[in-house]
Amino acid sequence: MAASLRLGRQGVLFGFKLSKFNKCLWSTYPWKEQARFLFQSPWSLGVAPVKIQMPALSPTMEEGNIVKWLKKEGEAVAAGDALCEIETDKAVVTMESNDDGVMAKILMEEGSRSVRLGTLIALMVEEGQDWKQVEIPPPEVVAPPPEAVAPPPAPAAPAPVTPPAAAPPPRPATSGPLRLSPAARHILETHGLDPKLATPTGPRGLITKEDALNLLKTSPVPKTTPAPPPPSPLQPKAAAPPAPGSRPNIPPLSTPGKPGAPGTFTEIPASNVRRVIAQRLTQSKTTIPHAYASVDCDMAAVMSLRKTLAKEEIKVSVNDFIIKAAAVTLKEMPEVNVTWSDNGPRPLDSIHIAIAVATDKGLITPIIKDAANKGVQEISANAKALAQKARDGKLLPEEYQGGSFSISNLGMFGISGFSAVINPPQSCILAVGTSRSELRLHEDDQTLRTSS
């Protein structure tokens, strides 16, 4: 009993002395407090980013191209500010910010092509945070599918010894959109190597010139067999030139700056707009039964009215009158103003006329909304504004989506008539050719008149 009390008393005194020693030790080394604050501070762990991903800017968009960044790293961003210009399958659309903050890191540079939806393209931080300390998430790596476990092979006879085979080519090491430097692209295309086999070492997965040279060194060289000796010492005769109009079996390569030889060509990559046009027109012609009908219209009254309006400095085109006439006709025949779905036709309450406009990137159909309730002069002003925005690539999604009827006019090119392709999910399209003057007999007064 006395021994245990004495031991407890000595233990308490020892604890007090040890606590005083620790206080003196920490006061002697004040840097430890700073170290504790450093490792407990969120600054040492980086700033959590606000992710900016490739959005879906049109219903049929699957990938896009980064045309131009409108904000730089370190620049303040407010909600609604334009971040970048993205080329979709329809037009070049401006992407706006949904949050306030600071642009911290641009992950997809200008000119990046075929960026899939949901791909991380930039990072932002909140206001007041250090954008230079933003955490850059690691690139997403798609896990390979699990391989089926094969049963153990049955014992077989020992195979004969064979010489070692050539090393197989390296497996693809890249995922996502490829980014190549100009020098690397030239080396890979010259030697016919797949860029997916290269291991990128540049910033953000860029394949550099050194990566292309390393791939060239490790690629197996095709074995060449020596040519058999000629049967006679006579000099071989020069090959006769191909006959005029014939196509050579192996087209020679063209040299830059010199006229190309017969059979050579220049490959131009298709834009997203032209790719989608090809897919949608193929789908339309193969899944929609097209029935065509043609009729001649007397445009003499329209031509006369145009001249009268021109004297009053009101300039309208023949196509503006056609848009107005088509809209009024759809109002009188609502069974034609429909779109088609898997369940059948869907009657529309509004009449929106889509007009085909040719641009450098492809064909696009901006929409004149409520055309039946507008005058010809207002339709003309809307058509001119939309056509200019289409050529500049500045159309908004709501300006080319939701049409109920399309009009394609090739009369300005002297085309007398053509067969247009329906733009799904619409049910009709009107193809307009050029006007011409004809001499006709009018039954009213039995006189010959010139009509257009």
Q: Is 351 helix (H, G, I), strand (E, B) or coil?
A: coil
Range with the poorest average pLDDT among 1-15, 273-287, 397-411: 1-15
How confident is the model over 248-305, as pLDDT tens digits? Answer: 555 555 555 666 667 777 888 777 778 888 888 898 999 999 999 999 888 889 999 9
Q: Which residue has tokens 């407090």?
A: 33
Those residues whose C-beta lies under 8 Å from the C-beta of residue 198, and which sit 6 or more positions away, are 173, 174, 184, 188, 207, 211, 212, 214, 215
CATH number of 50-125: 2.40.50.100
- Summarize the confidence of residues 67-76 as an average pLDDT: 92
Q: What is the pLDDT of residues 85-99, one digit of tens each?
A: 888 877 788 888 888
* Nearest-5° Cα angle at 393, 408 to 385: 60
Cα separation, 299 vs 437, whole angstroms: 9
Q: Going by C-beta distance under 8 Å and a sequence separation of 6 or more, which residues neighbour residue 290?
A: 419, 421, 422
pTM score? 0.53
Asked whether 32 and 38 are in contact (CB, 8 A), the reply is no
Phi and psi torsions of 121, nearest 5°: -115, -20
d(CA 238, CA 240): 6
Q: Is 122 helix (H, G, I), strand (E, B) or coil?
A: strand
Q: What confidence score (pLDDT) does residue 17 get?
A: 52
Is 128 a residue whose pLDDT tops 60?
yes
Q: Where are the domains of the chain?
A: 50-125, 294-438
What is the average pLDDT score of the chain?
77
Give residue 447's pLDDT.
Answer: 67
The label of the residue with tokens 């609502």 reads: 334
Worst-scoring range by mean pLDDT, 75-79, 167-171, 382-386?
A: 167-171
Higher-scoring residue by pLDDT: 15, 27: 15
Amino acid at 199: T
Handedness of CA 392, 396, 401, 406 (dihedral sign): negative
Residues 182-196 have pLDDT tens digits of 778 878 887 778 888
SS3 95: strand
Main-chain dihedrals φ then ψ at residue 11, nearest 5 degrees? -65, -40
Asked if domains 50-125 and 294-438 share a fold, the reply is no
Q: What is the CATH number of domain 294-438?
A: 3.30.559.10
